[in-house]
Amino acid sequence: MKKVLCLIIVALFTYAAQAQLTDGSTVPDFTFTDINGVTQNLYTYLNQGKYVAIDNSTTWCHPCWDYDTSGTMDSLYTRHDIPGDNTWKVLFIEVDINTTLADLQGTGTNTVGNWVAFTHFPIMNPVGIPLNDYKTAYNINSYPTLYIICPNKKAYADSLNKGYKPFLTTWEYIANTMCGPAGLDNIKDSNPITIYPNPANDHVTLYFSLNFATEVKLSVTNILGQSVAVKNFGSLSPGDQSLKYDVSNFNPGIYFFTVSDGNSRYVRKKVVVQ
């Protein structure tokens, strides 16, 4: 049955773009363990400012095999992952719940070859609910489905999955032209920064995430737009942040807290001080 399905996929290869997330979607996190026992967490790489390339394939799919044996993903890994400039993370996820390690090694019953032999980047073979949740969240219904995920957690696939599968230069072009600058995490999302408590009495804590190390500054203005305070937190490491800020000297009223990073990207939040 799988062989018949694979032939259908070959015939409809150019329609693979229908089976992915809308370009610019914010992707959820995932954590899988690769076949070498190494934990691979998506947000860890994104918070380091890396681009993440994901090849979602099955061991029995001939188009998947043809693309992987073309060497494009391995070239991307060699140039931009650990062997290269270490600005990307390249991952392979086997998305058939029934696939075994033997299938990946080319000795099983549902495989077209030895995937492990030529794949130098991490291979993951998740099973059960975690795999089903991943496939649902990333809307993976055809194979291969390729994703580039930007450091700001936005995913792009249209240019990767239309027609003939992309060359190395296509991956690089999307990273350079479609991925926005990194820095403050999810700057365009509805809640890229949280300030708690709000209303506040003596202090607030700012919660946000950084995609790479950068200088962070807080500017506070009153409802008239007048500057009340400026606080430079210095250069912060990538990852989740929680910064405590004293408002005990503020008069009761409404204030606007603007958090900016070294790329002049900022978010603004209204805070009530009682």
In which residue ranges of the chain is CATH 2.60.40.2550 found? 194-273
Sheet with 253-260, side-by-side order of all strands: 227-236, 214-222, 253-260, 266-273
9 or 33: which leads in pLDDT? 33
User: Would you identify the CATH topology of the domain 2-177?
Assistant: Glutaredoxin (3.40.30)
- Asked if the peptide bond before residue 199 counts as cis, ω within 30 degrees of 0, the response is yes
- Asked if the peptide bond before residue 144 counts as cis, ω within 30 degrees of 0, the response is yes
Percent of the chain with pLDDT over 90: 50
Reply yes or no on domain 194-273 having CATH 2.60.40.2550. Answer: yes
**How many angstroms separate the CA atoms of 54 and 131, rounded?**
14
Q: What is the mean pLDDT of residues 3-23?
A: 47
Q: Are 97 and 127 in contact (CB under 8 A)?
A: yes
**How many angstroms separate the CA atoms of 64 and 250, rounded?**
61
Q: Is 191 helix (H, G, I), strand (E, B) or coil?
A: coil
pLDDT for position 18: 45
**How many angstroms separate the CA atoms of 218 and 232, rounded?**
6
15 or 115: which leads in pLDDT? 115
In which residue ranges of the chain is CATH 3.40.30.10 found? 2-177
Under the banding of pLDDT at 50, 70 and 90, the label for residue 264 is: low
Q: Are 186 and 93 in contact (CB under 8 A)?
A: no
Tens-place pLDDT, residues 34-82: 999 999 999 888 877 789 999 999 999 999 999 999 999 999 999 999 9
pLDDT for position 48: 78
Alpha helices in the chain (DSSP H): 2-11, 42-47, 62-69, 72-80, 101-104, 115-118, 128-137, 158-161, 168-177
pLDDT at 19 over 70: no
Q: Is 0.75 surpassed by the pTM of this model?
A: no
Tens-place pLDDT, residues 168-212: 999 998 988 887 555 555 444 445 677 888 888 889 888 877 767
